[in-house]
C-alpha cells in the first residue's frame, strides 16, 4: 500500500469525523450524524468524478473507503465528548485534509488528460464540495461563503502546482510546495482574521 | 409487463403525488408543485444511477416513467382537496414505496456487479434521496433528519436482504422478508414515536 | 466560429454576471461571488449532460467556456456599481439567455437520439437549473418557485419547438418562433404580473 493511498484513506477518515461532528449541536440523531459524515467524506471526490465522467467513483470501486468512513463514524460516536473538545486538532486535520485532497484532485484530472484550467477547478472541488453539500443539506450557509480563504486557498495551491508542473519541477517538491502554500494561506488567514473584499 | 415493472411504475406515480403535495401549504404555484413532484419521483433513482454510472437513467430510457409521474401530478391537481385528506393512506403508500424502492436499488446494484456494501447504500439512496433533494430545494430540513427511522429502516432492510442473499435464501422469500422488515420498523417507530439517540 | 457557438459563449458570459450579482447584497466576498457566478453559468448545462450521460461536459471539453465565465466575473468585479444599476438590461439578457439555452438543450437532446419528452425536460433544465443550484447553495427560495412563469415559459417554448419540428417546420423558423414564444410569455407575465394558480 503506497503512501498516497494511505493518506487518502486517512483523509477520508477525518472528513467523516468532521462531517458527523458538524451536526452535533442541532437536532440530528446518530443516523443523521452518520449520514452527514458520509456525505462530507465522499461528496467532493464524487462530484469531481461525476463531472469528469471518471467511473467507477473512488469509494464505489474500492470499499476500503467505506470502511475508513465507518471507522470515522464509530470514533465520533464512541468518543464524541472527547473529539468535540479537540477543535484545534480538527482544524489542523481539516486543513491538512483540504490541502492534500486539492492536489490529489489536480493530479487525477491531469492524469486523465484534462486541461490545467479544468484540473485547478477539480482540485478545489475535491477539497471543498463535500462540506458544501453537507452544509446545503443541513440548511447552513456553505463553508465556502463563510470562510473566505477556505476554497480560495485551495485554488491558489492548485494554481501553484500547475505552474510549477508547467516549468518542469519534480513531482515531490511540487506536491510539498503546493500543499504547504494551502496550509500557510489558511493558517495566516485564520490567525490574523484576514478575508477577501466583498462586492460593493 | 412483469410484476416488478408494474410496481415500479405505481411507486413512481405515488412518489410524484407525495412530492407535489409536499409544497401544498407553501407559496408554490401549480408548476412549482409539479416540478417538486417530478424531482421527488426521479431524484433517488437518478442519483443512484449517476453514482453507479448506470446509463441511461431509468426515466430517460423508458418514458413510461414520465407518464406515470404526469398521471400522479394530474391526480394531485384534480383531486388535491380529497388527496390532502388521505394523509394516512399516503403514509401507507409512502412506506410501501420506500420499502420497495430500497430492495429494487439493492438488486439493481448487485446485478450490475457492485459489492454488497455499495448495494446497501444504493438501496437506501434510491428510496430516500428524492425526498432529500425535494426538501433541500424547498428549504425544508430534509426528511432524513426529521424522521429518524425513515432512512435507517431502509438501510436495515437492505442489510437483511444482503444477509439472507448471502446465506442462499430464495429471491422471493428474501424480497418479502426485507420489505416486511422496512415496513414493520417504520410502522412501529411511528406508532410508538420511537427515535434513535442523538450525539451528546 | 459559427453563430450558435458564439451565442452560447455570450450566454455563458451573461449567466456568470447575473450569478455573481445575485449575491451582491449578502455577506459574500469576491471569491464567493465568483464561485456563485461560475455555478450559475455551468449548472444547468452540466446537470443536463450528467443526466444524459453526454461526456465530456461542454465546459470541460472546451475551456473557452471557462474563459467566457472568467470574463463575466472580471466585468462584474470591475464595473459592479455600473452593472448593478443596469437591472433592466440584465432582465433582458437573462430572458434572452434562458430562451436560447432552452432550445439549445432541446436540440442537443434530440441530436443525441433521446425522446421528445426527455428533450423538453432537458431544455428547461439547461435554462433554469443553474439558477436553482445557485439559489439552493445560497439558501434562497429557488427562482423557479418565486417567478412562476420562469421555468414554465421555457417548457412552453420547448414543447412548441418539438411540435413544430414534428410537423416538419424548418429549423431556423422553428428556432426563432420558439425563442420568441419564451421571451413573449416572460415579458407579458412580468409586465402584467401574471402568475399560475396555486394548489388549494
Is residue C21 within 8 A of residue C41, CB to CB? The reply is: no
Neighbours of A80 (CB within 10 A): 19
- Choose among B29, B46, B57: nearest Cβ to C198: B29
Look at residue B84 and tell me whether its pLDDT is greater than 70.
Answer: no
For residue A185, name the pLDDT band (cuts at 50, 70, 90): very high
Look at residue C161 and tell me whether its pLDDT is greater than 70.
Answer: yes
Residue A18: is it exposed, middle or buried by C-beta count within 10 angstroms (0-12/13-18/19+)?
buried
Cell of A132: 458544501
Cβ within 8 Å of residue A140, ≥6 positions away: none
User: Which letter does DSSP use for residue A112 in this model?
Assistant: T
Nearest residue on chain C to B58, alpha-carbon basis: C51
For residue A124, name the pLDDT band (cuts at 50, 70, 90): very high
Nearest CA to CA, how far is A2 from chain C (Å)?
A: 30
Instruction: Say what the pLDDT of residue B200 is.
Output: 57
Nearest residue on chain C to B136, alpha-carbon basis: C136
Percent of chain B with pLDDT over 90: 55
Q: Closest Cα to residue A54, out of A157, A126, A156, A2?
A: A126
pLDDT tens-place string over residues C44-53: 999 999 999 9
Residue B168: is it exposed, middle or buried by C-beta count within 10 angstroms (0-12/13-18/19+)?
exposed
- Measure the CA–CA gap between C77 and C74, rounded to whole angstroms: 5
- Measure the CA–CA gap between C150 and C127, rounded to whole angstroms: 10
Q: Closest Cα to residue A44, out of A100, A117, A124?
A: A124
Instruction: Say what the pLDDT of residue B8 is.
Output: 86
Instruction: Say what the pLDDT of residue A114 is.
Output: 97
Asked if the Cβ–Cβ distance from B63 to C115 is below 8 Å, we say: yes
For residue C23, name the pLDDT band (cuts at 50, 70, 90): confident
pLDDT tens-place string over residues B2-55: 777 888 898 899 889 888 887 766 567 788 889 999 999 999 999 999 999 999
Q: Closest Cα to residue A74, out of A26, A22, A20, A121?
A: A20
A86 SS3 class: coil
Element at C183 (helix H, strand E): helix C171-191
CA distances from A18 to A31, A104, A136 (A): 15, 20, 16
Instruction: Say what the pLDDT of residue A148 is.
Output: 61
- Identify whether A166 is preceded by a cis peptide bond (ω within 30 of 0): no
Nearest residue on chain C to A135, alpha-carbon basis: C137
Which of B77, B137, B140, B141 should one mutate to test binding to chain C, selecting the residue with the greatest count of C CBs within 10 A? B137
Give the DSSP per-residue string, B110-144: HHTT--HHHHHHHHHHHHHHHHHHHHHHTT---HH
For residue C69, name the pLDDT band (cuts at 50, 70, 90): very high
Nearest CA to CA, how far is A177 from chain C (Å)?
A: 23
CA angle A174, A180, A186 (to 5 degrees): 140
Look at residue C1 and tell me whether its pLDDT is greater than 70.
Answer: no
C48 SS3 class: helix
More confident residue, C29 or C1: C29
Average pLDDT rounded to a whole number, residues A130-153? 82
User: Alpha helix (H) ranges present in chain B?
Assistant: 3-22, 30-52, 58-61, 64-78, 80-85, 87-111, 116-137, 143-146, 148-166, 171-191
Average pLDDT rounded to a whole number, residues A28-41? 88
Q: Subunits touching B (CB < 8 Å, at least 3 pairs)? A: A, C
B79 SS3 class: coil
Q: Which of A77-81, A154-158, B162-166, B179-183 has the lowest mean pLDDT?
A: A77-81
Q: Closest Cα to residue B127, out of B146, B153, B161, B145?
A: B153
Instruction: Say what the pLDDT of residue B141 is.
Output: 78
Instruction: Say what the pLDDT of residue A25 is.
Output: 62
- Measure the CA–CA gap between A188 and B19, rounded to whole angstroms: 47
Asked if the Cβ–Cβ distance from B200 to A81 is below 8 Å, we say: yes
Q: Which residues on chain C are in Cβ contact (under 8 Å) with B81?
A: 200
Asked if the Cβ–Cβ distance from A50 to B51 is below 8 Å, we say: yes
- Measure the CA–CA gap between A61 and A42, rounded to whole angstroms: 13
Instruction: Say what the pLDDT of residue A8 is.
Output: 86
Instruction: Say what the pLDDT of residue A71 is.
Output: 96
Give the DSSP per-residue string, A127-146: HHHHHHHHHHHTT---HHHH
Let me know how many helices (H) and strands (E) chain A has, helices first. 10, 0
Instruction: Say what the pLDDT of residue C37 is.
Output: 92
Asked if the Cβ–Cβ distance from A151 to C35 is below 8 Å, we say: yes
Q: Which residues on chain A are in Cβ contact (under 8 Å) with B139?
A: 139
Residues of C with CB under 8 A from a CB of B: 50-53, 114-115, 117-118, 121, 132, 136, 139, 141-142, 144-145, 148, 151-152, 195-200
Average pLDDT rounded to a whole number, residues C88-102? 84
- Choose among C27, C30, C138: nearest Cβ to A197: C30
For residue A19, name the pLDDT band (cuts at 50, 70, 90): confident
Asked if the Cβ–Cβ distance from C28 to A145 is below 8 Å, we say: yes
Cβ within 8 Å of residue C69, ≥6 positions away: C12, C13, C16, C37, C38, C41, C42, C59
Cβ within 8 Å of residue B175, ≥6 positions away: B103, B161
Site of grid cell 436553482: C132
Percent of chain B with pLDDT over 70: 94
**Ranges A20-29, A162-171, C11-20, most confident:** A162-171
Residue pairs between chains A and C whose CB atoms are closer than 8 Å: 61
Asked if the Cβ–Cβ distance from C145 to B27 is below 8 Å, we say: yes
Cell of B117: 456494501
Residues of B with CB under 8 A from a CB of C: 20, 23-24, 27-33, 35, 46, 50, 55-57, 60, 63, 66, 76-77, 80-81, 136-139
- Choose among A28, A60, A63: nearest Cβ to B52: A60
Site of grid cell 473557452: C64
Is residue C134 within 8 A of residue B76, CB to CB? The reply is: no
Nearest residue on chain A to C60, alpha-carbon basis: A118
Instruction: Say what the pLDDT of residue A84 is.
Output: 67
- Measure the CA–CA gap between B26 and B23, rounded to whole angstroms: 5
Q: What is the mean pLDDT of chain B?
A: 88
CA distances from B176 to B55, B169, B172 (A): 28, 11, 6
B198 forms beta bridges with A29
Is residue C150 within 8 A of residue C186, CB to CB? The reply is: yes
C29 forms beta bridges with A198
Instruction: Say what the pLDDT of residue C13 is.
Output: 92
Asked if the Cβ–Cβ distance from A139 to C137 is below 8 Å, we say: no
Amino acid at each position: 500500500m503506497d503512501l498516497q493511498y494511505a493518506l487518502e484513506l486517512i483523509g477520508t477518515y477525518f472528513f467523516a469525523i468532521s462531517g458527523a461532528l458538524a451536526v452535533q449541536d442541532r437536532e440530528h440523531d446518530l443516523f443523521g450524524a452518520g449520514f452527514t459524515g458520509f456525505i462530507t467524506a465522499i461528496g467532493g471526490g464524487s462530484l469531481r468524478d461525476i463531472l469528469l465522467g471518471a467511473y467507477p467513483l473512488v469509494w464505489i470501486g474500492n470499499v476500503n473507503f467505506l470502511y475508513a468512513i465507518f471507522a470515522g463514524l464509530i470514533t465520533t460516536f464512541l468518543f464524541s465528548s472527547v473529539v468535540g473538545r479537540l477543535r484545534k486538532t480538527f482544524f489542523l486535520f481539516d486543513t491538512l485534509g483540504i490541502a492534500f485532497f486539492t492536489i490529489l484532485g489536480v493530479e487525477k484530472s491531469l492524469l486523465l488528460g484534462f486541461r490545467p484550467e479544468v484540473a485547478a477547478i477539480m482540485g478545489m472541488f475535491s477539497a471543498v464540495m463535500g462540506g458544501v453539500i453537507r452544509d446545503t443539506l443541513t440548511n447552513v450557509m456553505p463553508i465556502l461563503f463563510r470562510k473566505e480563504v477556505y476554497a480560495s486557498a485551495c485554488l491558489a495551491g492548485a494554481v501553484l502546482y500547475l505552474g510549477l508542473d508547467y516549468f518542469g519541477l519534480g513531482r515531490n517538491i511540487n506536491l510539498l510546495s503546493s500543499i504547504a502554500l494551502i496550509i500557510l494561506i489558511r493558517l495566516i488567514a485564520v490567525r490574523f482574521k484576514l478575508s477577501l473584499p466583498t462586492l460593493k
